[in-house]
Structure formats: structure tokens, C-alpha cells
Amino acid sequence: MTGELRDRGLRARLLLLVGRLWVAAPPERLAAVRILVGLFAVVYFSIRLPHMLSYIGFPDRQWRPVGPLWLLGHPPPAVAVMVLAALTWLSGWGFLLGWRFRATGPIHALCLLWSMTYCNSWGQIFHTENLAVLFALVLATTRAADATSLDAGRRGAVPAPDGRYGWPLLLLRVVAVATYFIAGVAKLRWGGPGWAGGDVLLDTVAADGMRKVVLGSLHSPFAELLLGQAWLFRGLALLTLVVELGAPLALLGRRVALVWVLGVIGFHLGVFALMAILFPFAVTGVAFAPFFSPERLIEWVRSRAARLRVRAARASSGKERTVG
């Protein structure tokens, strides 16, 4: 009898957990996240493409493969790099528009992973696009094109809110939160409790600025002016730990998430001001779309576009009457 009651209690807890994870959400919300991530990926990859292709012809001794490419002893041939770059860009439009998403979604996510990993396999690792790639990988495994897409337009009816559109949004929120929380833990493991004192942050900013000045790279004009203000770096270091280690609190609700998101964006703007390092996926707000209702933004853009079309049609009609 005791064992039966224990089993019932376990099933009840599992059902409660599943109920919390399987929260219904409108398909338009997940589709809006897909559109924002896809638009970011296409624009970002277009900007990064010349940088990616610039590695073609580099000597093999500079090849330092990471991630999915770590088994490659030699860099891939130029033809493979160009073909995969083209496939990444083209499939990105399928991802963005929701065209044949069951195929273009996974293709784009995997090609984006390969392309960004290739760029990071030449000795310097950029982690500014990691979260965008993770978002693309998650979305590629979901039904993110059931609404606001070419696929949905072909099928006609839009499905009702369902848990299959809610759990991916929760997973994306967890991925975003985990990324920042892990970064906070890494800072403590690297700098120890002394990180909160600001000295580690000050030394990091100073070393980064000096390296960029020596190499003639883009550097912050503000860092040199502020390096003598130790009190400022103590405050910035403490705020950094609060924002990163406090990231799990953003899962409690939208109001808490809004406060956290504003803190994160402020943190990234501070990093850009002091170190000239930009995290565009976060600063544009795309990384935090799953925490809110981005379908409202998409609907606003569509309504504005419709109004502009109506005005253009009226203006064109007026000109025709004048000519007539």
C-alpha cells in the first residue's frame, strides 16, 4: 500500500512538472522568434561572409579546429568553404520566410554552426554569435513555421495555441539564462572571489585595450580615461556578477525578466564602451524575444506595411487621375 501511494505521488509530481513545461503558446509567438532569429542570422552572416572567405588560402599551420571541426587535421578546401557559405546564406532565407522549414530549418542551423565554427578555427575564438547559433539549432527542431510563414500560407488555417509552441520558447529562455549563468560561474572560477573587487576586470580591460592599440585594431576611446577610477570597476564587476549569476531569476516571470534583460543590455553596452566588443544578438534584443510577446512587433510591422501600401496606391491613383 505504501509503495502504491509513493508511485501515485511520483506520477503526480511528474504530471505537475510536465504541465509546467507543456504550457500552451500561440504559434505566432514561436514564428515571431523564428523571424527575428532568421533575420538576424541572414544579416549577420552577410556581414561576416567576407571575413569568413578571407581565411581561404591561409597556411595549414594556422588551422586550430574547434567544436564540430576539431577532428579535421587540415582546413577544408576552398570549394567546400564557398559552397557551404552559399548554402548557409540561401537556407537562411528559407529559415526566415518559413519556406519548406522542415528541410531549410535544420540545413540552415547546421550550416550556420559549421560556418561560424570555421571562422573560429584559425586561432581566435569569437563567442559573440554562440547564442544565435544555439537559438537556430533549437528552432530548427520545432514547428516554428506553423504560422506567419510561406508554409502556413500554403496550408491555410493557423493552429490553435498548444504546448508544442510553448516548450520551445521555454527551452530558448533556459538556453539564454544558462549562457549568462555559466559566464558568471566562469568568472568566479577564473578570478575567484577577487573578481568582485574589480581588479581582475580592470586588468582585463587594460590588457585588451593595450593589445588592440599595439595591433592597430579598433579600441575603445573611453577605457584609457577610466582606468584610473578603481571604484568604478569595483561597481561594474559587482553588477556583472549580479546580472550573470542572477540570470535564473528571469525564468520567474515577465516583470523579473524585463528587469534582467535591461540589465544585460546595459552590461553589453558597457562592454562595448570599455572594450569595443559588441554582442549584437543581445544588444538588438533578439536574444530575449522568447521572454515576451514578439508576435506583437511582427503584427505592428505588418500593419504599418499595409498602411504604406494603401497610401502608395492612393497616391498612384491620384497621379493617374491628374494625368487623365
150 alpha-carbon distance from chain centroid: 23
Specify the DSSP element, H or E, that contains 206.
helix 199-215
pLDDT tier, 17 (very low <50, low <70, confident <90, very high otherwise): very low
pLDDT tier, 303 (very low <50, low <70, confident <90, very high otherwise): confident
How far, in Å, CA of 274 to CA of 280, rounded? 16
DSSP β-bridge partners for residue 162: 25
Minimum mean pLDDT among 98-107, 238-247, 269-278: which range?
A: 269-278
95: nearest Cα among 107, 85, 86, 104: 104
Locate the domains of the chain by residue range. 24-161
Minimum mean pLDDT among 3-12, 24-33, 153-162: which range?
A: 3-12
Q: What is the mean pLDDT of residues 119-148?
A: 92
DSSP state of 126: -
* HEC assignment per residue over 242-279: HHHHCHHHHHHCHHHHHHHHHHHHHHHHHHHHHHCCCC
CA torsion through residues 143, 265, 206, 232, sign: negative
What share of the chain has pLDDT > 70, as a percent?
90
CA torsion through residues 299, 302, 306, 311, sign: positive
Helix (H, G, I), strand (E, B) or coil at 98: coil
Q: What is the pTM of this model?
A: 0.88
Average pLDDT of every residue of the chain: 87
How far, in Å, CA of 170 to CA of 24, rounded? 11
What was the pLDDT predicted at 252? 93
Minimum mean pLDDT among 7-21, 167-181, 189-203, 268-282: which range?
A: 7-21
Taking only the tens place, the pLDDT of each residue in 212-235 is: 777 777 777 777 777 777 778 888
Q: Report the b/e string of 251-271 with b at 16+ CB within 10 A.
A: eeeeeebeebbebbbebbeeb
